[in-house]
Structure 1
Amino acid sequence: MTAPTRHLAHFSWGTLRAPVGDPRITAFAEAVPRVNSRAETNPGFVWRFGDERPPAEEVGWPLFDDERIIASYSIWETPEALRAFVYQGAHGGFYNRRAEWFDQDAPRGYVLWWVAPGHRPDITEAWRKVDKLSAEGPSDAVFTFAQLPPAASTAKL
């Protein structure tokens, strides 16, 4: 078996209905360590940013001026591995309940891009990818699950 030539980076953000620590999002906040732990044992998981256990400020919650905006980013071996984690299992259950904790009319979204194995994106790189997707739309360089480029067109990082 040959080593992978690329991994999939994933960055997502959303605006909570209330700041971290508010009782309205307690169920969500308390589930984060458990869901992250499951991610780390999921097939295809490579890496994730931080450890969102309290105090949240140590790992970047909040990462932005608005303390309700939180973000997550991770690396996966394949799009299929990430998709299975996001939409199934423990995370899938919380994803289906996102309207309880996240303001659906506020900033939110995600972006995917290819990285070389071993590369760990920082928040600056992640936001550059968000800006590129927003300004130019999906391409081989940045995309979402809906616009996942075919494998043949993504060989070049």
Structure 2
Amino acid sequence: MPQLALYTFGVLKSPLADPAPLTREFHDSAEPIYRTLSEHPGYLGHAEAAEGSRGAHFDLDWGPWGRFAVPAWYDKGRTTDTMAFAASLSLWTDLGLAFDAIYTGLHRAALNRRHDWFERTGRPAYVLWWVSDGTVPTWQNGVSLLEHLHDHGSAPHAFGFRHAFGPDGTPATVKGFGPKDARAH
């Protein structure tokens, strides 16, 4: 059964190491949000650095998720003190369940505050794509597909919730972005 990969990337207004209250607030919200998402139906897992890895995202061992990467247009810091981005890579069983997890609860509350924390880049903040069961998407897959989505728009191999596709490549409707009560499964 195909699985849904989700890569997110946002440029923060200030580096994560910045002690300013808004930056700390964003940083401190991450753990409870990840915990809530990991308990949501349809969640399969997310990229985590190997235990004992130290350093910035670029220096960590991400195991099967591959070497950490960011979009070519990201032009801020890459060290622990200068990084000004938030990125995630996760796997889901279902388009509708992933949508529900992202647009409800703690994550929805954080999305409502995104303009407090993130720059408006004019680029997509996330990309979705289907992978074969047992395939672990990589950071580079996510970056490449996010850039493809920006350059070419939605396609069966790189899309957003608004213009989604099912595992078979046909257009799919997601509850909240189409006819009332429609849901892609």
TM-score by length of 1: 0.81
Call closer, same or farther: CA 1:149–1:37 in 2, change over 3 Å. same
Q: Write the mapping of 1:5-20 to structure 2, written as runs, cut at 5 A.
A: 5-20=1-16
Moved more, 61-70 or 14-23: 61-70
* Superposed CA RMSD: 2.5
Match of 1:30 among 20, 28, 31: 28
What CA distance in whole angstroms lies between the structure 1 residues aligned with 2:47 and 2:131? Answer: 15
Identity %, equivalent residues:
24
Structure 1 gap ranges (5+): none
Kindly indicate whether residue 88 of structure 2 is the aligned counterpart of residue 72 of structure 1. yes
What CA distance in whole angstroms lies between the structure 1 residues aligned with 2:160 and 2:98? Answer: 12
TM-score by length of 2: 0.70
Contact kept, 8 Å, 1:9 with 1:76, in 2: the verdict is: yes
- Corresponding residue number in structure 1 for 2:176: none
Per-residue deviation, 1:129: 1.1
Kindly indicate whether residue 93 of structure 2 is the aligned counterpart of residue 95 of structure 1. no
What CA distance in whole angstroms lies between the structure 1 residues aligned with 2:121 and 2:143? Answer: 20
Structure 2 gap ranges (5+): 61-67, 77-82, 171-185
**3-state DSSP of counterpart to 1:94:** helix
Number of residue pairs matched by the alignment? 147
What CA distance in whole angstroms lies between the structure 1 residues aligned with 2:115 and 2:107? Answer: 14
What CA distance in whole angstroms lies between the structure 2 residues aligned with 1:97 and 1:58? Answer: 25
What CA distance in whole angstroms lies between the structure 2 residues aligned with 1:103 and 1:56? Answer: 27
Q: Write the mapping of 1:75-86 to structure 2, written as runs, cut at 5 A.
A: 75-86=91-102
1:56-75: per-residue Cα shift (whole Å, max 9, x none)?
84545995552212211111
Q: Write the mapping of 1:7-156 to structure 2, written as runs, cut at 5 A.
A: 7-22=3-18, 23=20, 24-50=22-48, 57=55, 59-60=57-58, 64=70, 66=76, 67-105=83-121, 109-150=125-166, 152-153=168-169
What CA distance in whole angstroms lies between the structure 2 residues aligned with 1:70 and 1:57? Answer: 15
